Structure 1
């Protein structure tokens, strides 16, 4: 189903060789016999006649196959594809007024004949699906809508149907207009902070949900968010997943897609992932708060240069009157290094967005789950170092990780059990971990071996070390030194094998632990070597395999 490549092969025929071979044999026979009888000559003539007819038939067959291939090429891939969808659209829906149109089709208001409900129908013309990739794009969009349906901030998917000419995607009808239109209708084309935070929170929820499904939206912009109704407090709905794609953890997209004003730096560098959606939301947030784009130029190339090189301007009005918390939020979303950028789930824990929002609404962060999966692969020394670093961070700075801990700790008893760990890890859908792997992860994090993970143990495994350094380098220097001094008992600036043994309580040789961090091979660990250890994973964990079964990303 849905395979559209032209597979009619024009094969060469060996019949001419067979004819020549038969003729040679006939000649040989004649030279052996001084006088050929009439019946023999007649029989040979019949054979030759049959071979000539076979040759003619093969030539005709070749011409027919070439003609079939030409006809096949002339028919668009979409017309040759059975999508496997229901084929009774006309019996179930009545098409109404046009709502809008895109590259491949039109969106209409339609009526469900069974109950009279009004829906939106995206009608995609099969004739315009020339290549197989266009067919795959439509199938993927339907798959994405099916997976995300039920989320309050995603336009609801109802059905997919087809006939000889079109594919129909039936969805929830949103009549409140685009977010872009709402922005333009506001005074000075900007929102109040409170109203902006409500809008941004809904966009972040969509991004976080997509990322748990191993999905990147790739085109988040105000035009792709619709309001359910014209009411002020109506839900915001993400729509148009035409550029969206699935991605394996740890892998990167190498194509450039999206809209110029909202595209992330790493997209332009052809190394993008889920983080690019958060950048786009940062750009939208900047626009919501001040009515201007953070990166602007007259040309597309100029915009790209701005995105790659410049920082957003927080000096012009109205930014001096906007809260410090809002500026901090936007700054942390518009970090050019995707590793230091807040994740969608982290951003939902930020005080500016969270005000008025409930912690229970915060989804599990894919980066936290990734960090926990990684922790089990770290060397013992790095695990000890991360625990020491975690103990230097105050409660206020751990607000986002507290939200994540509470989200995983379903029974709210202050500890994560094996079953709660399993349920949390299972929410990262691209990963299909075996029960034994879940137990292995819990045991690696559970430093006191009581079978449970408390908050302090959780923090050590879930920390975003790169963010700590990038967000405040001075504080990182102080914090990493404080962690180092938990090992450096005599404060001589080095961690010796004896100090390492005292801190870890390990018996036997300490040499294997030293080897990873002791870069200059002087038999001890300096502060700079310790910091390097915190920044990097051990050699055994650099290539964490991704889950199998996902298709490669395709350029659109």
Structure 2
């Protein structure tokens, strides 16, 4: 028994010994695997170092770097001198070893493409050349020695600009944004730090810079990622459904700051800032707002409308009375929403088109001054009417879009109500109306306006539009069942005022808003604020 017990005990001891030995061996195996992984990672060459960007490789032979001007997450900006000519330039030097992922490489390529595309605009920092070597990418640009707009704001008494000076600065910003959007580019990080003055002179031009977060957006698409700077970020960015409208919001925030020296949305925490942006309205009762003109306040309020569909475009904002230079619209690009609305008008049913024409007759001249500006831009020969060729040339300037010649002809035929082969101003207004803006800016006036348009159809005044009244107003013949079904929601064979209003609204929000989205780009937001670093915007998108 004793032997048996002893043998049994020895067997258990041996098993325990082997078990412990196995555990240690397994742990050692894991440690060795982790160490090998670390060693392998240490020897992996970053993607940026393995990428040939196709840029020139003779930077050192052409330029000599000088003092450091600033730095960001991936690189540094220096003053530099062109060897031979002595020309002073700025050089952004980006480290290739920090480009670990394909998106980092694409960000650099895209920034260079955007700078090339916008170069030549008077209010954009000029692009000169791009270079690379084994360690860096070099972007050579115009040197602006006047400092940041932020510094000028802080140097002002109470941090405020006069209305005249503020309007001049805002006009320059809007010109840049309008040009960007016409080329399908959204800046996505507009703030006072990203506008530089060419020199120290008072009347020196303002230049947009830092297109590192900028991106191309395809027609009708939305961005899903959250980028930008906390105090200047638009509500729709936080909702992950943003587009060109977010740049206009940022300019609205900057304008508010220029006029009163304070931020419209402020809190100590990131969550608090976002809550303000999403839910609060800017304050216009505190000093100095009571002494600021009604036009200036109206301008800021329009740019800070939370619904991006109701917010004016950059080109529309340039036509606002507060910004107009000497009472006349300055030279600026075509409005992307005007061109978009022309493309969409041809897709509407005949009933919708007639409804828009009726609505257009209810507008006062001061309500459509921006459309008059756009009409005059397209009417190149100043004849008072727009030809097929003038429409074609205008649509060609909206770079993200390409239209066949036959489609341009269809657009003109849809707009040409009297079929004389030309587009007059009334026909132009009907096709380019922005219904959502009209409804959002004055809901009471919207009710009166749509009732007036409705009454043009409702000849007997019974509060409904019948098929016979549609025929009488439009001149259409034959069966109207299909047209009627589009608006007759309750199926009673006639159209009520509410159904008529819904028809107009659907024409704007249904066809004119495309809810497709692009895949998000993972980026690292730059979050500097006026006096201290802004709370960091978190990025949670996934590709």
Q: TM-score, normalised by structure 1?
A: 0.85
Aligned partner of residue 353 in structure 1, secondary structure:
coil
Residues 1:551 and 1:111: Cα distance change in structure 2 (over 3 Å): farther
The answer on 1:232 being equivalent to 2:184 is no
Equivalent position of 2:150 in the other structure: 180
Alpha-carbon distance, 1:248 to partner: 1.2
- Please give the per-residue CA displacement for 1:518-555, whole angstroms capped at 9, x wherever unaligned: 00000000000000001012999478699xxx985412
Give the whole-Å Cα distance in 1 for the aligned partners of 2:432 and 2:321: 20
Give the whole-Å Cα distance in 1 for the aligned partners of 2:42 and 2:106: 19
- Please give the per-residue CA displacement for 1:441-466, whole angstroms capped at 9, x wherever unaligned: 11100111111111000000000001
Equivalent position of 1:154 in the other structure: 124
Equivalent position of 2:529 in the other structure: none
Contact 2:341 2:512 in 1 (8 A): no
Contact 2:144 2:198 in 1 (8 A): yes
Equivalent position of 1:205 in the other structure: 175
Aligned pairs for 1:353-372 (under 5 A) are 353-356=323-326, 358-372=328-342
Residues 1:215 and 1:518: Cα distance change in structure 2 (over 3 Å): same
Equivalent of residue 302 in structure 2, options 329, 332, 342 = 332
Equivalent position of 1:509 in the other structure: 479
Give the whole-Å Cα distance in 1 for the aligned partners of 2:515 and 2:73: 37
Give the whole-Å Cα distance in 2 for the aligned partners of 1:379 and 1:166: 56
Contact 1:247 1:552 in 2 (8 A): no
- Please give the per-residue CA displacement for 1:75-127, whole angstroms capped at 9, x wherever unaligned: 11110000000000011111111111111111111111132211000011111
The answer on 1:447 being equivalent to 2:417 is yes
Equivalent position of 2:219 in the other structure: 249
Residues 1:539 and 1:243: Cα distance change in structure 2 (over 3 Å): closer
Give the whole-Å Cα distance in 1 for the aligned partners of 2:515 and 2:236: 22
Equivalent position of 2:370 in the other structure: 400
Equivalent position of 2:66 in the other structure: 96
Equivalent of residue 270 in structure 2, options 300, 308, 322 = 300
Give the whole-Å Cα distance in 2 for the aligned partners of 1:164 and 1:256: 32
Contact 1:78 1:130 in 2 (8 A): yes
- The farther-off stretch of 111-120 and 537-546 is 537-546
Equivalent position of 1:276 in the other structure: 246
Structure 1 unaligned segments of length 5 or more: list them.
1-65
Contact 1:246 1:553 in 2 (8 A): no
Structure 2 unaligned segments of length 5 or more: list them.
1-35, 524-543
Alpha-carbon distance, 1:133 to partner: 1.1
Give the whole-Å Cα distance in 1 for the aligned partners of 2:503 and 2:84: 64
Aligned partner of residue 536 in structure 1, secondary structure:
helix
Aligned partner of residue 130 in structure 2, secondary structure:
strand
Equivalent position of 1:260 in the other structure: 230
Equivalent position of 2:101 in the other structure: 131
Q: Any runs of at least 4 consecutive aligned residues in structure 1 with deviations exceeding 6 A, and if so which?
A: 542-546
Equivalent position of 2:317 in the other structure: 347
Contact 2:224 2:519 in 1 (8 A): no
Contact 2:223 2:518 in 1 (8 A): no
Give the whole-Å Cα distance in 2 for the aligned partners of 1:508 and 1:386: 22
Equivalent of residue 468 in structure 1, options 435, 438, 441 = 438
Contact 1:105 1:124 in 2 (8 A): yes
Equivalent position of 1:8 in the other structure: none
The answer on 1:169 being equivalent to 2:136 is no
- C-alpha RMSD of matched pairs (Å): 2.0
Equivalent of residue 535 in structure 1, options 505, 510, 526 = 505
Equivalent of residue 487 in structure 1, options 453, 457, 461 = 457
Contact 1:179 1:227 in 2 (8 A): yes
Equivalent position of 2:537 in the other structure: none
Give the whole-Å Cα distance in 2 for the aligned partners of 1:73 and 1:510: 73
Give the whole-Å Cα distance in 1 for the aligned partners of 2:93 and 2:136: 6
- Please give the per-residue CA displacement for 1:346-388, whole angstroms capped at 9, x wherever unaligned: 0000000114374251320000101110000001000000000
The answer on 1:316 being equivalent to 2:286 is yes
Give the whole-Å Cα distance in 2 for the aligned partners of 1:151 and 1:72: 45
Aligned partner of residue 457 in structure 2, secondary structure:
coil
Give the whole-Å Cα distance in 1 for the aligned partners of 2:323 and 2:59: 42
Equivalent position of 1:26 in the other structure: none
Which structure is higher in RCO with an 8 Å CA cutoff and minimum separation 6? Answer: 2
Equivalent position of 1:116 in the other structure: 86
Aligned partner of residue 419 in structure 1, secondary structure:
helix
Equivalent position of 1:34 in the other structure: none
Contact 1:111 1:119 in 2 (8 A): yes
Give the whole-Å Cα distance in 1 for the aligned partners of 2:410 and 2:394: 15
Equivalent position of 1:425 in the other structure: 395
Contact 2:324 2:330 in 1 (8 A): no
Contact 2:94 2:137 in 1 (8 A): yes
Aligned partner of residue 137 in structure 1, secondary structure:
helix
Give the whole-Å Cα distance in 2 for the aligned partners of 1:134 and 1:540: 36
Residues 1:404 and 1:151: Cα distance change in structure 2 (over 3 Å): same
Equivalent position of 1:554 in the other structure: 521
- Please give the per-residue CA displacement for 1:382-413, whole angstroms capped at 9, x wherever unaligned: 00000000001011111000001011111111
Give the whole-Å Cα distance in 2 for the aligned partners of 1:540 and 1:334: 23
Equivalent position of 1:223 in the other structure: 193
Aligned pairs for 1:279-290 (under 5 A) are 279-290=249-260
- The farther-off stretch of 131-140 and 382-391 is 131-140
